[in-house]
Chain A
Amino acid sequence: MMKDSSAAPVISARDLSLTFQTGDGPVHALKDVTLDIAKGEFVSFIGPSGCGKTTFLRVIADLEQPTSGSITVNGMSPDAARRARAYGYVFQAAGLYPWRTIAGNIKLPLEIMGYSASEQDSRVQKVLDLVELSGFARKFPWQLSGGMQQRASIARALAFDADILLMDEPFGALDEIVRDRLNEQLLELWARTEKTIGFVTHSIPEAVYLSTKIVVMSPRPGRITDIIDSPLPRERPLDIRDSPEFIAIAHRVRDGLRAGHLDD
Chain B
Amino acid sequence: MRNLAPVLTVTAVLIAIWYAAVIPMNQQWAQDQARRAGQDLSFTALVADTMSQQRPRLPAPHQVAAELWNSTVVEELTGRRGIVNTGSLSNRSLVYHGWVTLSATLLGFAIGSVLGISLAIGIVHNRAMDASIMPWAIASQTIPILAIAPMIIVVLNAVGITGLVPKAIISTYLSFFPVVVGMVKGLRAPDHMQLDLMKTYYASGTQVLAKLRLPSSMPYLFASLKVAIAAALVGAIVAELPTGAVAGLGARLLSGSYYGQTVQIWSALFAAAILAAGMVALISLIQRATLKRMGMAT
Question: CB within 8 Å of B: which residues of A?
Answer: 58, 61-63, 82-83, 85, 87-89, 91, 93, 95, 97-101, 108-109, 111-113, 140, 142
Picked from B200, B203, B211, B218, the residue with its CB within 8 Å of the CB of A63 is B200
Picked from B200, B215, B218, the residue with its CB within 8 Å of the CB of A87 is B200
Let me know if B201 and A109 touch, CB within 8 A: yes
Let me know if B200 and A95 touch, CB within 8 A: no
Interface SS of A by simple majority: loop
Let me know if B201 and A99 touch, CB within 8 A: no
Known: A97-B215, A99-B215. A89 touches B196 (CB 8 A): yes
List 12 A-B pairs, Cβ < 8 Å: A58-B196, A61-B200, A63-B199, A82-B202, A85-B202, A88-B200, A91-B196, A98-B294, A99-B294, A99-B295, A101-B295, A109-B201
Let me know if B193 and A112 touch, CB within 8 A: no
Add 17 more A-B contacts to A82-B202, A140-B295 (CB < 8 A).
Answer: A63-B196, A82-B199, A85-B202, A87-B200, A88-B200, A89-B196, A89-B200, A91-B197, A97-B194, A98-B296, A99-B296, A100-B295, A101-B295, A111-B211, A112-B202, A112-B211, A113-B201
Docked complex Cα distance between A227 and B241 (Å): 79
Minimum CB–CB distance from B94 to chain A (whole Å) comes to: 41
Minimum CB–CB distance from B133 to chain A (whole Å) comes to: 28
Chain A contacts for B211, CB-based, 8 A: 108, 111-112
Let me know if B200 and A97 touch, CB within 8 A: no
Q: Whose C-beta in chain B lies nearest to the C-beta of A143? A: B295
Known: A61-B200, A85-B201, A97-B215. A91 touches B193 (CB 8 A): yes
Report B186-218 CB contacts with A as 1/0, cut-off 8 Å: 000000011011111111000100011001001
Chain A contacts for B198, CB-based, 8 A: 112
Minimum CB–CB distance from B71 to chain A (whole Å) comes to: 45
Docked complex Cα distance between A99 and B290 (Å): 10
Q: Whose C-beta in chain A lies nearest to the C-beta of B204? A: A112
Report B16-52 CB contacts with A as 1/0, cut-off 8 Å: 0000000000000000000000000000000000000
The 6 closest A-B pairs by CB, nearest first: A99-B294, A140-B295, A89-B200, A112-B203, A112-B201, A87-B200
